[in-house]
Structure 1
């Protein structure tokens, strides 16, 4: 039970109703207060306190006031005598509970295996879940030690079933390849080389991080992903198992010693390895997408910085352009047959016109064309070789027809990635809208000698990558086999409707939508009423006339230093004279 309670919480959870007060009866002294505390504690927790002072002091004082007994009497309540045994029986019967049995424990273990452990292995969550289950069963839960043993027994039973089921799903070819990868660890330790099969990586290399963004990092991640896919793990191997459960086995595999890994029975060893590579495949796919996003962004940013640096060194911005244009137009109209040097230059000098020309080149289409030229040079000379590898290993998809042009553009780029075409064949249906930015269409879409439009393949690839980056970042396009960039439809559990009641209980929300809305409305109403009645009396808050009525808060007064803080400082100074409390907290 939590230690700190405010008055509203105490009133809500620990106020005796008339029929409950009858249970206190004519008990007196410490037995009266002890019974009342046990009663309300059980009503709130559906269990009895394991220790006398597990009950917060504020709760004891609030209950003591209701039954008109001194709070100090609680310390005198006999925690081991016959009275407390009788009191517990009386409270249990009032709430319709019974003591637990061996059959209850077996039932809870079976329930955990079937309904809980497939999605959650967090021990603290499981403890809360088990207590909640005993409350539903109207059974007084056993001691914490027995609860812990019960949960560990359930986990052990579930894992035995899970490991065996996973082994049965794995084909013989996958088992053989998993063993080969484990053997590659010893191979790498003896000879600092690659994996045993040409073109495949070792287990240690597959565990490595991607490194800084660059072509080599991309190619290395592609090799990792290709090695894992060579294992031929079934697509449905862990489809119904949440990632947080698989992560437990992945971490175990990554940290276990080689000898320990080999010593496990087949069901455990193969499940641990399969879970590791299943999740590692997702991580590497995510890493590849992150590298792609960062590289495309970096190419553009570097080009812009380079052009901007040239601009800063060369540009003198011209002000009052409309005034200059007016003066030039007026002089030209008044002297239509005059010479420019005699008519225009006296109104606008030659240097100002040259500055205008430079400014236009650095801000209009010429500026964008210059940036594109630098991007093209960087992409063509270095980054372009990564594109076929990425398109060959990743599968991009979209659930929205609006974004299909980018998917079709990727397919087109992949189709011609190994050809020597400088221009895409116009016989192809080339997606332009939704792929090429409007401001770049004049640069990307060229015209030949006959005036027919044509699209340079490299320029188109750059536009496709830029569009892909934008769509990936907002998940309008997703990647098969990824985690962070997975199908947005998979963000909700696939069995949410089937397990609707359990899911709502976990969220602590009512199944009835009307009840949820009513509770929300009431909370809003209570909050607004509290604000409305409290604001006029609050000297530290006021509504100003600024805007539509800004709320102004006066600075809070500094709180006094906690009593124990000075004691902690003194003890620290005694033990470690040169260390400050701030250094410890850091």
Structure 2
């Protein structure tokens, strides 16, 4: 083997091949690094948003809320480096490598950029999921505000339990729910053991759920769709445009390419 490498391939070719090896992409295929290129632009508005809006969250969002407070203080004081011990529990695995690499190189500037981007992206995801909320906001308020208050629930308890067929007494309902849960878990265990159901365990012991299959459209729905299509008139596109122009006058916004009159006055009398 050594003779083959030295005689027919040569060390120079091996060195050249190794030098041209493709650099392995990070887990997110460079997405966060691409965002880091817009860091200066993001800094134009992100500090103002964090200063004006107060975010809150549940227990799971605790590290993120703490990180937001640290980021506010960094913006207020003008400090550049992220303090030691700043939370990173909210950083996904696909982005953790950026922080680890910057920390290993001692690049405080890169670490600040990536940590701040991870914090802002986690804030975005938290607002979308409801883990983070803005008190008083119409769209991002605490999800608990959409639930019945205890006093309100008392007036709806009996009717709701009647509709779902459950006992309004928690001491009676909980054992029944536990029985349903045990039965469902037993069915799930059988499905996982078979390995050919909608869910299975891979070699690493992780749960894998197959994509849901598309549902067939009922024949009655197809018939109704066809019937509705037959009820719609078959209108020429030109007549439709003229009718719309009568209501909106949108054709007056067009200019003829040759500078002539855009349309014939006869169209107004159609």
What's the TM-score once normalised by structure 2's chain length?
A: 0.52
* SS of structure 1 residue aligned to 2:51: helix
Aligned partner of 1:467 in structure 2 is: 122
Tell me the number of residue pairs that the alignment of Structure 1 and Structure 2 aligns.
Answer: 189
Aligned partner of 1:415 in structure 2 is: 73
How far apart are residue 425 of structure 1 and its match?
2.9
Aligned partner of 2:53 in structure 1 is: 394
Paired with 1:397 and 1:468, the residues of 2 have a C-alpha distance of 10
Matching of residue 490 in structure 1 with residue 149 in structure 2:
no
Say whether the 8 Å CA contact 2:133–2:141 is kept in structure 1. yes
Matching of residue 342 in structure 1 with residue 9 in structure 2:
yes
How far apart are residue 373 of structure 1 and its match?
4.1
Say whether the 8 Å CA contact 2:161–2:167 is kept in structure 1. no
* SS of structure 2 residue aligned to 1:406: helix
Paired with 1:413 and 1:389, the residues of 2 have a C-alpha distance of 12
Say whether the 8 Å CA contact 1:422–1:458 is kept in structure 2. no
Q: Which has the higher contact order (CA 8 A, sep 6+)?
A: 2
Aligned partner of 1:433 in structure 2 is: 89
* SS of structure 1 residue aligned to 2:76: coil
Paired with 2:139 and 2:86, the residues of 1 have a C-alpha distance of 30
The counterpart of 1:513, out of the listed 166, 175, 188, is 166
Structure 1 runs not aligned, ≥5 long: 1-333, 516-546, 573-577
Say whether the 8 Å CA contact 1:423–1:455 is kept in structure 2. no
The structure with more radius of gyration: 1
Q: Deviations over 1:244-294 (max 9, x none)?
A: xxxxxxxxxxxxxxxxxxxxxxxxxxxxxxxxxxxxxxxxxxxxxxxxxxx
Paired with 1:377 and 1:552, the residues of 2 have a C-alpha distance of 46
* SS of structure 2 residue aligned to 1:481: coil
What's the TM-score once normalised by structure 1's chain length?
A: 0.26
* SS of structure 2 residue aligned to 1:483: coil
Q: Deviations over 1:423-471 (max 9, x none)?
A: 1232xx310122x33233332243478x799973233211101111122
- After TM superposition, list the pairs within 5 Å mapping 1:350-365 onto structure 2: 357-358=21-22, 360-361=23-24, 363-364=25-26
Paired with 2:167 and 2:119, the residues of 1 have a C-alpha distance of 47
Structure 1 residues 478 and 340: alpha-carbon distance in aligned structure 2, compared to 1, 3 A threshold: farther
Say whether the 8 Å CA contact 2:61–2:132 is kept in structure 1. yes
Structure 2 runs not aligned, ≥5 long: 169-196, 199-214, 245-270
Aligned partner of 1:476 in structure 2 is: 131
How far apart are residue 509 of structure 1 and its match?
4.7
Paired with 1:558 and 1:453, the residues of 2 have a C-alpha distance of 65
- After TM superposition, list the pairs within 5 Å mapping 1:64-463 onto structure 2: 334-335=1-2, 338-339=5-6, 342=9, 357-358=21-22, 360-361=23-24, 363-364=25-26, 368=30, 371-380=31-40, 382-399=41-58, 401-426=59-84, 429-434=85-90, 436-445=91-100, 446-447=102-103, 456-463=111-118
Paired with 1:455 and 1:354, the residues of 2 have a C-alpha distance of 26
RMSD, matched Cα: 4.9
Q: Deviations over 1:183-223 (max 9, x none)?
A: xxxxxxxxxxxxxxxxxxxxxxxxxxxxxxxxxxxxxxxxx
Paired with 1:419 and 1:341, the residues of 2 have a C-alpha distance of 64
Paired with 2:161 and 2:4, the residues of 1 have a C-alpha distance of 86
How far apart are residue 405 of structure 1 and its match?
0.6
